[in-house]
């Protein structure tokens, strides 16, 4: 592991929390908060690319979210399809490569087709990798990786398990942000966030703007990442 260039994070992960509360406080349907959340994600992805971040991973829909009211879940699925149709052309122009990480079982053929088409359409882009964790859970990710290795008859080691996880195509997140004022990671990137710096923002996700992102980046740059070593060992390495 190494510290990213210029002291900034190479990979940022975000739990985009607070869409429903944002809408409720404005006496709007909860789905309107999710629509605003899509706009915030667009701005955040662009801001990350401008700040030299290489990978952005966001928690869009968890395995546990199926327990929400049926009309909210169906609305989220339709919103996803609409957002893909609207956003992918701009993501293509911005050089953003989309990956969708999560369980496909349980998703409609329409949603699955939209995910596959968006991923294929942006496959050659390289400015920013945008991982969207949809129908995802950290425990599911570890379990499916172990099951895949067992089915192939491969030994289950830290290295092999890491390579079978849904985010094996990118480095682990340097910085994990959660908006909405809650201080937990809620089954998100349980394996990959082992050494991530954590930043909790009181802002609801639709209100998370560029200054809020810069606040998180400044906090990250002010931390010492030791990865089990001592401060003295790090100073010795950097002085060589």
Is 65 marked active-site?
A: yes
Spell out where 102-219 has E strands.
128-136, 175-178, 197-200
Catalytic site residue from 17, 141, 172, 174: 17
Is 125 marked active-site?
A: no
Query: What is the DSSP annotation of 46-87?
Result: HHHHHTT--EEEEEEEEGGGGGS-HHHHHHHHHHHHHHHHHH
Strand partners, 71: none
Catalytic site residue from 19, 65, 172, 174: 65
Q: In what order do the strands lie in the sheet with 96-101?
A: 96-101, 128-136, 55-62, 11-15, 175-178, 197-200
Q: Which tokens is 23 given?
A: 């809408």
Q: How far apart are CA 208 and CA 179, in angstroms?
A: 8
Q: Which tokens is 196 given?
A: 């991530």
Query: Would you name the residues annotated as active-site residues?
Result: 17, 65
């Amino acid at each position: 592991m190494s510290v990213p260039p210029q002291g900034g994070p190479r990979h940022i992960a975000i739990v985009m929390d607070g869409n429903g509360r944002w809408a409720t406080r404005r006496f709007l349907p909860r789905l309107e908060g999710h629509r605003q959340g899509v706009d915030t994600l667009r701005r955040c992805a662009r801001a990350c690319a401008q700040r030299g971040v290489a990978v952005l991973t966001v928690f869009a829909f968890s395995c546990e979210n199926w327990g929400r009211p049926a009309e909210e879940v169906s609305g989220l699925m339709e919103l996803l399809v609409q957002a893909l149709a609207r956003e992918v052309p701009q993501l293509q122009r911005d050089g953003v490569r989309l990956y969708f990480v999560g369980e496909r079982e349980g998703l409609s053929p329409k949603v699955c087709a939209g995910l596959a088409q968006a991923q294929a359409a942006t496959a050659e882009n390289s400015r920013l990798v945008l991982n969207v964790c949809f129908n995802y859970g950290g425990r599911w990710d570890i379990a499916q990786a172990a099951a895949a290795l067992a089915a192939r008859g491969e030994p289950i080691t830290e290295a092999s398990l890491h390579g079978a996880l849904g985010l094996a195509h990118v480095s682990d997140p340097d910085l994990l942000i959660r908006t909405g004022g809650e201080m937990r990671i809620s089954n998100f990137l349980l394996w990959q966030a082992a050494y991530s710096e954590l930043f909790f923002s009181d802002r609801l996700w639709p209100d998370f703007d560029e200054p809020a992102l810069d606040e998180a980046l400044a906090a990250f740059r002010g931390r010492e990442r030791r990865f089990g070593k001592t401060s003295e060992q790090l100073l010795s390495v950097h002085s060589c």
